[in-house]
């Protein structure tokens, strides 16, 4: 055999037919190179997707209940297709949650960086109010407990509390813990999916906090393509890479942040992030967020509110409409 294989049952909402469609998906892990995916339609008894490479996909993305993107289709992992897949993936995989305490909230970027340095993934992330800002981060990965112990040695133990996923579950309930978004004197900053996958979220959070911004709301979300289109509608017809922006924003989870500061928060955020054009940012503002973490103009590290008049709308769209519907 040239590769290991794993089976999953996935579902995709076909908006045109208004139907939830179910597929058998096989993921192949070659000895070298990215994962490959093939899909079969059991209802129609035919192949839906021939085996092909999916460069951005990782095994750690494939947990029951997670959403992945394959050729612009958002697929929800409904279950494992066989006992081999379940035992192979769950044997070494561990999951726990970290509660970054209010007194250590200024160290949030450092905590996230440690998670990323350990090769661990953040499957959930939310900011709640519990005597102050409490960041709740669900972490998953192979040998996760051991890896976390190794990378978190420099974080004061009182800065965070490690709990089970079951203990963290209430924090993700909007009824018990409403959104902490303020919706005034604010701007929206989104750590784009490519920057999350490249494990730059901790550095970006640290740059925001060191730059004088208060992070007043946070949530990890996977946008549907239609949602990303609506959020980025202001750029349609303005930038030639609008389609690529939408594709890159909906391909995987992103981390949405409401940021606040004294004075003109939108102008300050734009200054910290740098020009939208990555090459220009690198040339003129090499220390800006986009110069440091941008890849190209559609994957420029972060989305930041451009106009003051759009700030409240963008924050409400993400934290009232989208977050509440999850």
Class of domain 179-326: alpha beta
The residue assigned the tokens 């203990």 is 167
Averaged over 298-316, what is the pLDDT? 96
pTM of this structure: 0.87
Least confidently predicted of 11-20, 155-164, 241-250: 11-20
Contacts of 115 (CB under 8 A, 6+ apart): 98, 122, 137, 139, 148, 151, 202
Picking from 247, 218, 202, 230, the residue whose alpha carbon sits closest to that of residue 317 is 230
Give domain limits for the chain. 3-81, 90-178, 179-326
Is residue 35 within 8 A of residue 8, CB to CB? The reply is no
Give the domain 3-81 fold: PH-domain like (2.30.29)
With cut-offs at 50, 70 and 90, classify the pLDDT of residue 174.
Answer: very high
How high is the mean pLDDT of the chain?
A: 94
Domains 90-178 and 179-326 share a fold: yes
**Tens-place pLDDT, residues 266-294:** 999 999 999 999 999 999 999 999 999 99
Instruction: Return d(Cα 21, Cα 11) in angstroms, integer.
Output: 5
- Tell me the three state secondary structure of residue 229: helix
Averaged over 110-125, what is the pLDDT? 95
Kindly give the residue spans of alpha helices, DSSP state H, lying in the chain: 83-92, 108-117, 144-151, 165-168, 193-197, 201-210, 225-231, 242-250, 265-273, 278-284, 289-293, 311-316, 323-325
With cut-offs at 50, 70 and 90, classify the pLDDT of residue 3.
Answer: confident
Which pLDDT score, from 0 to 100, does residue 61 have?
86
Chosen CATH of 90-178 out of 3.40.190.10, 3.30.70.260, 3.90.1150.10, 3.40.50.2000: 3.30.70.260
With cut-offs at 50, 70 and 90, classify the pLDDT of residue 16.
Answer: confident
Instruction: Return d(Cα 199, Cα 193) in angstroms, integer.
Output: 10
Is residue 197 within 8 A of residue 304, CB to CB? The reply is no
């Amino acid at each position: 055999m040239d590769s290991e294989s794993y089976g999953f049952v996935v579902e995709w909402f076909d908006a045109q037919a208004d139907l939830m469609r179910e597929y058998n998906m096989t993921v192949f892990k070659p000895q070298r190179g990215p994962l490959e995916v093939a899909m079969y339609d059991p209802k129609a008894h035919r192949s839906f997707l021939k085996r092909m490479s999916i460069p951005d996909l990782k095994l750690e993305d494939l947990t029951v209940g997670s959403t992945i993107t394959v050729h612009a289709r958002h697929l929800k992992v409904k279950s494992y297709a066989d006992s081999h897949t379940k035992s192979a993936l769950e044997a070494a995989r561990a999951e726990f949650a970290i509660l970054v305490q209010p007194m250590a909230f200024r160290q949030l970027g450092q905590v996230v960086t440690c998670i990323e340095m350990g090769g661990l993934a953040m499957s959930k992330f939310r900011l709640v109010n519990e005597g102050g800002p409490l960041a709740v981060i669900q972490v998953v990965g192979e040998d996760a407990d051991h890896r976390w112990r190794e990378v978190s040695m420099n974080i004061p133990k009182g800065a965070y509390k490690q709990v089970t996923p079951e203990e963290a579950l209430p924090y993700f309930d909007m009824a018990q813990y409403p959104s902490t978004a303020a919706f005034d004197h604010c701007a929206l900053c989104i750590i784009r999916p490519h920057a999350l996958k490249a494990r730059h979220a901790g550095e970006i959070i640290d740059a925001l906090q060191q730059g004088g911004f208060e992070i007043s709301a946070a949530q990890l979300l996977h946008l549907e393509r239609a949602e990303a289109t609506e959020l980025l509608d202001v750029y349609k017809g303005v930038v030639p890479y609008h389609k690529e922006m939408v594709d890159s924003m909906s391909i995987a989870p992103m981390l949405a942040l409401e940021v606040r500061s004294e004075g003109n928060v939108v102008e300050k955020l734009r200054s910290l992030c740098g020009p939208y054009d990555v090459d220009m940012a690198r040339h003129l503002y090499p220390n800006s967020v986009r110069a440091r973490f941008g890849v190209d103009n559609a994957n420029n590290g972060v989305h930041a509110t451009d106009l003051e008049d759009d700030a409240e709308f963008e924050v409400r769209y993400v934290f009232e409409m989208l977050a509440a519907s999850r």
